[in-house]
Chain A
Amino acid sequence: MSRIRRPRSMRTAAGLALMLLALASAWLYPHSTQSAYIGPGAGFAFLGSFLTLVAGFFLSLLSLLLWPFRMAWRAAGRRQGFRHARVRKIIFLGLDGLDARLTERLMAEGKLPNLAALAAEGGYRRLRTTCPALSPVAWSTFATGVGPGKHNIFDFLDRSLKSYLPELSSARVGKAERVLRIGRLRIPLTRPPIELRQKSQPFWKILGKQGIGSTILRVPITFPPEKFNGRLLSAMCTPDLKGTQGSFSQFTTRVETAIYENGSRYPLHRVAGGFAGEIEGPQDTFIEGHPVLRIPFRVTVDHGAAELHAQGRRCRLEPGEYTGWQPLSFRTAIGTKAAGMARFLLTETEPEFSIYMSPINIDPERPALPISHPSYYASYLAGLLGTFATLGMAEDTWALNEGAIDEDAFLRQAYDIYAEREAMFLETLESTRRGVVACVFDTSDRIQHMFYRRVGTADGHARTIEEMYCRMDDLVGKIRPFVDRDTALFVLSDHGFCAFRRGVNINAWLSDNGYLHLHNGAREGGAYFEGVDWSRTRAYALGLGGFYLNVEGREAQGIVARGPEAEQLEREIIDKLSALRDSDGAAPIRAVYATRLLYHGPYLDHAPDFMVGYNEGYRASWDGAVGKVSAQILENNPKAWSGDHCVDPALVPGVLFSNRKFDAADPGIEDLAPTALELFGLPVPAWMDGKPLMVR
């Protein structure tokens, strides 16, 4: 029962803690009398405590005496782990979303010399991605070597089988089970559960059991971090301090009252010598009703120079220049503090005055939630290299979508985050002699999402994506000094990219074709299935990849019987939806897949029943992805978020480079985990779907 057993180090820690407690008690209360409570049970209580202290003392003593032997045993285990290894070190450099076609074109034009050299030295292939071609799904497959049916991540979103409401597919942060109520105070007596919903086992955990350590930096779907023999910094889906996936704030004289959207706009009041406002932080869960915690701030303006004053600190605001990470400490009703940090940007000064504030990231030096393993690793990195963004999707795409920052400001932010990550990665490479180092950079994904519409235009950002590819190539050059003859280097991406010009609302299509019904014959519904009549609905869509049948006995209000009825309906929907045409006759959908034929594994019942393989230029519409039935099935995408990869996986393969020659005609992202095990001379577990690349 290794997954649920208290680790050895924790038992040692508990023993030491007991011993310290015993010594402290003896020192603090040498002759104290037990006068506060006399009655039945007092003797038992005293005897119980005494026996605990004695047992704790001897266990601690034993633990200390055995310490050298345990260390020797561990060292022997490490040596044993590398006994059959063909390499001493494996480096995985993940460049999220690096597109195969564009990479190949730029290599042919001589613009990616380091990647081209790597391909010539070892090898290059297009890398088959998962279905759907989404980062949480594909990186989970990278980590575990299994398909979605075995790792349980099918999309960014999953649905509640009871309420049909969406949930994050990767992690769940719950509420404390037991709470003590004192007046308006609410004191949790248990820790709120934080659960990683990804299943199976990452390869670094398997390596760790054999004494081969790994450092895993920002590989998606690692929040909350799980214990293993190594170090890990969590990535995608790590929330901000408010518990959201990233809520920016804009403080502006343009609004009178707060407006809450994907980001929020708050009024900035003119006062003598400047402006005043309030930063909204997390909710105070220690008080009934969970009021929002706030930090008042002031901005002074003197001869054009602006300064932000908050919590006794001040920082200079220069137009167009981000501040460094500013600590923000939110004090709760019981006096505890939630530590966050944010960066500010002065975006306009006259006639209106506006300041952008990034989402409040969890402060890595004092993390409010677990964001690393060991827990002190995030603080260690921050102490060593300076603080860094901790939010899962740290680049603020919504601030650009909603015009709170412009394209230049978005790019600066993205490259600042890139620089933090690069420093972390290079330092880890510097200090790692053997084992695995894996680091994923999101810059490549976010810049393509936000600048795809500029490609081929006369705009100043027409070459921004190309320049980003060159920056990623430079990074490959920077890590080459760490690659010796005993090191295997893999540079890979989880999927490619293409344009997102038109959105397809599958819910609207299901409604038009009689598979989904709204109450009172309405033509449009609200987000999260508002207005849907479940008693007559046979199919519904949620998320970016697929859609579901409303199955009897699975969904709370399911009406489709499993077996022949479901299979007949499945065939009917696939035939009809595949024939969908846009107004110009183009086919938005390349293929519709029945997932019972696509996936295998124990979590198949959690999967959408269908996956939609969109054609290039199309994607699930913004409204459809959140369960809204809109009037139109097809609509233009007006947002800056203009590139995407949520299309048929065959259209967006990733890339795979290595310094080692490898044989594999059609490598898939599931092959990397077994390859790592094979290179270290370990057997590939039978449950893994991937096959080791024949690395020479």
Chain B
Amino acid sequence: MLGTNIKIKKDLWTKVKKVAAAGGYSSPEEFVVHVLEREVAKLDDAQSDEEIVRKLKGLGYID
């Protein structure tokens, strides 16, 4: 995955590592991404109904 690096102060990074391990994350990066995604999701635009139905079409388990 191509991406952007963000600098985080060492003290904060140490705390991030502890919290991530205690929370069951597989890495501090996963924890940081999860926290950011949760916040960004609040601003995400919802897809149209037609688009959602189209993408799920053909999934054997649902009609």
Contacts and interface: CB of A to CB of B under 8 A. Distances in A.
Interface of A: 1-6, 10, 144, 146, 149-150, 156-157, 160-163, 165-168, 173, 199-201, 226-227, 239-240, 242-248, 262-263, 359, 393, 397-398, 446, 449, 527-528, 544, 600-603, 622-623, 625-626, 641, 646, 685-687
Nearest to A239: B55
B58 A240 contact: yes
The SS class assigned to the B binding surface is loop
B31 A602 contact: yes
Nearest to A445: B60
Contacts of B6: 1
A168 B25 contact: no
A262 B24 contact: no
B12 interface: no
Nearest to A202: B26
12 contacts: A10-B2, A146-B24, A146-B26, A156-B61, A167-B47, A200-B25, A240-B58, A244-B54, A245-B55, A393-B59, A449-B60, A687-B21
Contacts of B55: 167-168, 173, 239, 243-245
Contacts, number: 131
Nearest to B28: A1
Given A626-B62, A687-B24, 16 more contacts: A4-B3, A146-B24, A165-B52, A167-B47, A199-B25, A199-B26, A200-B30, A227-B1, A239-B55, A242-B54, A243-B54, A245-B55, A246-B57, A262-B57, A527-B53, A625-B61
B11 interface: no
Contacts of A687: 21, 24-26
B14 to A, nearest CB: 15
Contacts of B58: 240, 244-248, 262-263, 359, 393, 398
A95 to B, nearest CB: 18
What are the 10 tightest A-B residue pairs by CB atom distance, in nearest-first order?
A: A4-B3, A246-B58, A622-B63, A245-B59, A244-B57, A245-B58, A397-B60, A201-B26, A601-B24, A200-B26
Nearest to A196: B1
A600 B24 contact: yes
Contacts of B52: 165-167, 528
- Best-surrounded residue of B4, B21, B33, B55 (most CB of chain A within 10 A): B55
The SS class assigned to the A binding surface is loop
A162 B46 contact: yes
A245 B24 contact: no
A262 B30 contact: no
A4 B29 contact: yes
A663 B46 CA distance: 49
Given A5-B5, A150-B24, A165-B52, A245 B57 contact: yes
Interface of B: 1-6, 21, 23-27, 29-31, 33-34, 41, 44, 46-47, 49, 52-63
A393 B25 CA distance: 30
A2 B60 CA distance: 37
Contacts of B59: 156, 168, 245-246, 393
Given A200-B26, A600-B24, A622-B62, A3 B33 contact: yes
B41 to A, nearest CB: 8
Contacts of A243: 54-55
A245 B57 CA distance: 6
A393 B54 contact: no
Nearest to B8: A1
Contacts of B31: 602
Contacts of A247: 57-58
A357 to B, nearest CB: 13
B31 to A, nearest CB: 7
A3 B1 contact: yes
Contacts of A150: 24-26
B60 to A, nearest CB: 4
B62 A625 contact: yes
A602 B25 contact: yes
B48 to A, nearest CB: 9
Nearest to A6: B2
